[in-house]
Amino acid sequence: MNWVEENKKKAGKTKVILIIISVLFVFFMLVFPLVSVIANSLKEGFGYYIQSLNTKYVKSALLVTLLATVIAVIVNTFFGLLAGWLLTKFSFKGKQVLATLIDIPFSISPVIAGLAFIMTFGRLGWANPILESINQALGTDIQIVFALPGVVLATIFVTFPFVSREIIPVLNTQGKDEEEAAALMGAGGFTIFRKITFPHIKWATIYGVILCTARALGEFGAVAALSKTRGKTFTLPLEIDALYLAGSSDSITAAFSVSSLLVIIAIIVLILRNFFEHSEKVKGEKKEG
Partner 1 sequence: MYVELKGINKNYGDYQATKDANFGIEKGSLVALLGPSGSGKTTILRMIAGLETPDSGDIIIDGKRVNDIAPADRGIGFVFQSYALFRYMTVYENIAFGLELKKVPKAKIKERVQELLELTSLKGLEDRYPNQLSGGQRQRVAFARALAPNPSLLLLDEPFAAIDAKVRQELRTWLRKMIYKVGITSIFVTHDQDEAVEVADQIIVTNKGRIEQIGSPLDIYKNPETPFVTEFIGQSSVIEDYHRFHGFEKGNYQGAVIRPEFVEVFKRDNREFNNYIDLSEEGEIIDILFRGNSLELTVDLHGVMITAHRSLERREVKVGEKVRVLIYRLFAFDEDRAYLLENENLKGRNINIDNLESYLYNEEYDFFVI
Partner 2 sequence: MEDNQEVVKTELNNSEGASNEVEETSKKRKTGKKTKRVIPGFGLSMGIVLAMLSIIILIPLASVLGYAFRLKPSDLSKILSDSTVQWAFFTSIWTAFVAAVINVIFGTILAWVLVRYDFPGKRIIDGLIEVPFTLPTAVAGITLSKMYSTTGEIGKPLSKLGLKVSYTHLGLIVALVFIGIPFVVRAIQPVLEKFDSQYEEAAYMLGATSRTTFTRVILPELRPAMITGFGLAFARGIGEYGSVIYISGNSAKEHTQVVSYIIMQKLERLDYSGATAIALIMLIISFLLLLFINIVQVRQSRRTNNI
149 contributes a contact to partner 2 by CB under 8 A: no
Rounded least distance, CB 279 to partner 1, Å: 26
- Helix-strand-coil split of the chain, %, nearest 5: 80, 0, 20
Rounded least distance, CB 81 to partner 2, Å: 9
Q: Which does 4 bind (CB under 5 to 8 A by kind): partner 2, partner 1, none?
A: partner 1
Which is nearer to partner 1, 2 or 140 (by Cβ)? 2
**Cα–Cα–Cα angle for 172, 88, 284, nearest 5°?**
25
Which region among 2-10, 94-102, 159-167, 258-266 touches partner 1 (by CB under 8 A)? 2-10
Using only C-alpha atoms, the chain has a radius of gyration, in whole angstroms, of 24
Please pick, from the candidates 6, 8, 23, 54, the single residue that binds partner 2 as defined by CB under 8 A. Answer: 23
**Element spanning 231, H or E:** none
* Integer Cα distance of 133 and 118 in angstroms: 18
Which is nearer to partner 2, 139 or 247 (by Cβ)? 247
Binding-site size, partner 2 (CB under 8 A): 114
* Integer Cα distance of 228 and 191 in angstroms: 46
Q: How many helices (H) and strands (E) does the chain have?
A: 16, 0
Which is nearer to partner 1, 2 or 173 (by Cβ)? 2
3 contributes a contact to partner 1 by CB under 8 A: yes
Specify the amino acid at residue 236.
L
Which region among 44-52, 53-61, 132-140, 253-261 touches partner 2 (by CB under 8 A)? 253-261
The rounded Cα 103 to chain-centroid distance in angstroms is 13
Q: What are phi and psi of 160, to 5 degrees?
A: -50, -50
Residue 270 Cα distances to 78, 212, 262, 275, 276, angstroms: 23, 12, 12, 8, 10
Residue 151 and residue 227 in contact, taking contact as beta carbons nearer than 8 Å = yes
How many CA atoms, within 13 angstroms, populate the side-chain half-sphere of residue 85? 18
126 contributes a contact to partner 2 by CB under 8 A: yes
Chain positions 153 to 182 lying near partner 2, rule: CB under 8 A, are 153, 156-157, 160, 165, 168-169, 172-173, 176, 179-180
Chain positions 55 to 114 lying near partner 2, rule: CB under 8 A, are 75, 79, 82-83, 85-93, 95-96, 98-114
Which region among 51-59, 130-138, 215-223 touches partner 2 (by CB under 8 A)? 215-223
Chain positions 4 to 43 lying near partner 1, rule: CB under 8 A, are 4
Q: Which does 89 bind (CB under 5 to 8 A by kind): partner 2, partner 1, none?
A: partner 2
Q: How many CB atoms lie within 10 A of CB 10?
A: 10
30 contributes a contact to partner 2 by CB under 8 A: yes
Q: Which residues here bind partner 1, judged by CB under 8 A?
A: 2-4
